[in-house]
Amino acid sequence: MKVLQRIGILAGIIAVSAVAAGDPLDLGSQIAKKIRYPDYDDKGQLKFEVLGDEAQVRPDGLIRIVNLKLIFYEEGRVVTEVTAPECLLDRIKRIAASTSDVCVARSEMVLTGRGYEFTWVNNKGHLEIHNQARVVLKRGGL
C-alpha cells in the first residue's frame, strides 16, 4: 500500500481517537499522544513507522505532528531516520512540510537543514531543504 494511503489511515485513527475522547464536532482541539503507526510489506516485514509525541488533525484537514520521527527499514534493519520538531502533513497534496529543523540520518551520511518539504510522487519520496542545508558524509558508508 502506498505511504500516503497509510498516512491517511493514520489521520483516520487520530480522528477516531479524537471523537472517542471528546466532542466530535471539534476535531482540531483533540490531540493524540505518543503516536506510533507502523507499515508492513506483504511478507510481514516492517517497512516504515511514523512516531510522534503528539498528533492533531486541524480544522483545515492538515495533521500537525510534534517531534516527528520516521524510521525506514530494509530487511529488518533501520536504513533511514528522519526527525523534526514538528511537521504539517497534507494527505491530499502528499506533502509533509515545516519551517523547523530536519535531520535525515543514514549509515553513510547525515543531512540537516531548516525548513523542508517532503513530497510523495509515484511511491517515491523527494526531500527539499530550504535553508542551512548541510551534508556530513561518514567514513565506511557506501
80 found inside a domain: yes
Assigned domain for 8 exists = yes
Helices (H), the chain: 3-21
Tens digit of each residue's pLDDT (9 = 90 or more) over 81-93: 999 999 998 878 8
Whether 49 is covered by a domain: the verdict is yes
Q: Name residue 44's amino acid.
A: G
In a domain, 71, yes or no: yes
pTM of the model as a whole: 0.72
For residue 111, pLDDT beyond 50: yes
User: How far, CA to CA in Å, does 130 sit from each of 99, 117, 118, 126, 141?
Assistant: 8, 8, 11, 13, 26
13 has a pLDDT exceeding 70: no
Question: How many residues make up the chain in this entry?
Answer: 142
In a domain, residue 142? The reply is no
- Write the CATH number for 84: 2.60.450.10
Q: Which domain holds residue 69?
A: 3-137
What is the number of domains present in the chain? 1
- Structural domain includes residue 22: yes
89 falls within a domain:
yes
Q: Which has more confidence, 2 or 43?
A: 43
Please check whether residue 54 lies inside any domain of the structure. Answer: yes
